[in-house]
């Protein structure tokens, strides 16, 4: 059986490259690239994507081996009816790893037809590293790479104001476009780039805020034989996503007229204020995802769907939403609105055809807890004077998760190097009796450079987390969770 490539797909369209995309992961391919495909298919847009691998590891090589082609499988319930579809995505036409070929990376900035930059470098990607510089080949941070890219484009086109770009990040942080702009601008100031570039950065380019919403389980390993037989070809980059999708984009400088997704039947919303959409989605969908991962995984559960079938986990999830997330959020949106959205999320989580691996969600969990759960928890503290108990239980479970062991087997931990080093250090000291559980917890909650405050100062939180850590270590997650919910 042939591997998916240009030999398998006939009459592949040729389009100009109009988009540079930082990231080649499952989400961008199952969400942004699919929507761009639909816009192209509908004749609303005409542009291909050049993909940049933002880290020194990734899937650029695997995508290039298939000529950028991959299959998107969409499954889910819509209007009470189960829908399943498969579609070959053909808009990825160029691939660059800046760690292997930095000159090729800068060459992308010279493409005359370029209009957009999209990105998804996870929550930890949009951060300011003041030591980063465009003299590095490549710069280490995403803002550094973007600054180098924009500066090269500015020089190539002699500061032409019509060569600026729409920069559309999809990272799940508040005001993601504004934050990315701030990082890029600050780096430019630190390294004293010329006034002409600073003016071009501000006036020729448009950074906009976004919200993305689609559950993307990724590579369907458990069903790959079934799907391969159905498709009639081998696809090593196949990706699965649910039917539901929502892309909310702050409508700046006419971006909504260029990417008019409604004309292609897409759930794309252009608005002046994305905050209500963002709060609802990040706090409930993403928040519950992040909440459940360490608890369910340590309990022996591997997927979101299985977590929703587990009586204890379902109680834990719904209690968190009803007793903590909604009370901490209803000063932004009504209880009725939040409840209705949560009920929809439960259905999406329980979709039997979406096998969403908890370990896939666990990537960069330390940053995810801060961005997805901590704001709700702190709002709850303002209302009640105490840290929400279920979120404290999840926070404790996260710390035990990063001890790196489940039922005697090693966990394949994935997080930023500094956090992995921290967890390895504190748990090694625990094993050597240099720290007790409370000492481990105090250091974890005291990571002020990460949490932006000392969480030990929240009344009762150190005790809450310590008691849960001790219970999980002593009795295992099954017993600890049952006792917590009793």
Tokens of 241: 């996503």
Return the closest-CA partner of residue 67 out of 121, 1, 120, 14. Answer: 14
First to last CA, the chain: 54
SS3 state of residue 52:
strand
Measured CA to CA, the distance from residue 168 to residue 99 in angstroms comes to: 23
**φ and ψ at 285, to 5 degrees?**
-65, -60
| Alpha carbon separation from 398 to 84, 292, 309, 369 (Å, rounded) | 35, 10, 21, 9
Residue 85's SS3 state is strand
Peptide bond into 274 cis (omega under 30): no
The span from the CA of 160 to the CA of 29, in Å, is: 32
Mapped onto helix, strand or coil, the DSSP state of residue 410 is strand
Contacts of 475 (CB under 8 A, 6+ apart): 483
Q: Which long-range contacts (CB under 8 A, 24 or more apart) does 432-440 make?
A: 437/466, 437/469, 437/470, 437/473, 438/462, 438/466, 440/399, 440/469
Closest CA to 290 of 387, 345, 370: 370
Placement of tokens 């090593």 in the chain: 236
Residue 87: the pLDDT is 97
Structure tokens at 28: 């961008």
Find tokens 């649910």 and name the residue: 242
pLDDT (tens place) for every residue of the chain, 486 residues total: 999 999 999 899 999 999 999 999 999 999 999 999 999 999 999 999 999 999 998 999 999 999 999 999 999 877 667 889 999 999 999 999 999 999 999 999 999 999 999 999 987 899 999 999 999 999 999 999 999 999 999 999 999 999 999 999 999 888 999 999 999 999 999 999 999 999 999 999 999 999 999 989 899 998 999 999 999 999 999 999 999 899 999 999 999 999 999 999 999 999 999 988 888 999 999 999 999 999 999 999 999 999 999 999 999 999 999 999 999 999 888 999 999 999 989 988 988 777 789 999 999 999 999 999 999 999 999 999 999 999 999 999 999 999 999 999 999 999 999 999 999 999 999 999 999 999 999 999 999 999 999 999 999 999 999 999 999 999 999 999 999 999
How would you list the strands of the sheet with 239-242, edge to edge?
A: 81-89, 70-78, 239-242
Give start and end residues of each alpha helix (H) in 46-114: 60-65, 102-108
For position 79, what pLDDT does the model report? 67
């Amino acid at each position: 059986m042939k591997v998916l490539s240009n030999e398998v797909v006939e009459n592949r369209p040729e389009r100009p490259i109009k988009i540079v995309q930082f990231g080649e992961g499952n989400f961008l391919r199952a969400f942004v690239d699919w929507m761009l495909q639909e816009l192209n298919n509908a004749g609303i847009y005409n542009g291909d994507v050049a993909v940049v691998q933002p880290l020194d590891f990734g899937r650029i090589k695997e995508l290039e081996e298939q000529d950028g082609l991959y299959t998107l499988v969409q499954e889910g319930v819509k209007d009470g009816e189960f829908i399943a579809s498969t579609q070959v995505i053909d808009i990825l036409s160029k691939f660059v790893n800046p760690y292997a070929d930095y000159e090729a990376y800068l060459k992308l900035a010279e493409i005359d037809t370029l209009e957009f930059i999209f990105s998804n470098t996870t929550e930890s990607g949009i951060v300011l590293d003041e030591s980063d510089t465009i003299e590095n080949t490549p710069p280490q941070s995403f803002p550094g790479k973007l600054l180098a890219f924009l500066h090269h484009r500015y020089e190539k086109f002699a500061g032409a104001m019509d060569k600026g770009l729409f920069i559309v990040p999809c990272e799940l942080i508040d005001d993601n476009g504004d934050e990315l702009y701030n990082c890029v601008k600050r780096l430019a100031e630190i390294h004293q780039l010329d006034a002409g570039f600073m003016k071009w950065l501000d006036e020729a380019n448009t950074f906009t805020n976004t919200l993305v919403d689609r559950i993307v389980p990724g590579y369907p390993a458990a069903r790959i034989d079934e799907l391969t037989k159905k498709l009639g070809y081998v696809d090593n980059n196949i990706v699965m996503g649910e039917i539901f999708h929502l892309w909310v984009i702050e409508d700046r400088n006419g971006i909504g007229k260029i990417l008019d997704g409604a004309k292609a039947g897409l759930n794309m919303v252009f608005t002046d204020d994305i905050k209500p959409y963002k709060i609802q989605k990040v706090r409930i969908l993403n928040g519950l995802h992040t909440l459940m991962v360490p608890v369910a995984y340590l309990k022996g559960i591997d997927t979101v769907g299985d977590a929703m079938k587990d009586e204890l986990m379902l109680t834990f999830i719904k209690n968190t939403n009803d007793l903590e997330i909604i009370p901490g959020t209803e000063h932004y949106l009504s209880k009725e609105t939040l409840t209705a959205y949560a009920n929809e999320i439960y259905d999406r989580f329980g979709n039997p055809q979406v096998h969403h691996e908890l370990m896939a969600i666990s990537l960069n969990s330390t940053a995810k807890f801060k961005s997805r759960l901590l704001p709700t928890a702190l709002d709850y503290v303002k209302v009640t004077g105490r840290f929400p108990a279920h979120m404290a239980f999840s926070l404790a479970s996260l710390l035990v998760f990063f001890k790196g062991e489940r039922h005697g087997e090693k966990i394949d931990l994935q997080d930023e190097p500094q956090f992995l080093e921290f967890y390895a250090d504190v748990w090694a000291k625990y094993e050597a009796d240099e720290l007790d559980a409370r000492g481990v917890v105090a250091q974890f909650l005291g990571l002020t450079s990460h949490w932006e405050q000392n969480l030990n100062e929240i009344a009762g939180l150190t005790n809450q987390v310590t008691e849960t850590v001790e219970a999980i270590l002593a009795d295992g997650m099954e017993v600890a969770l049952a006792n917590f919910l009793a």
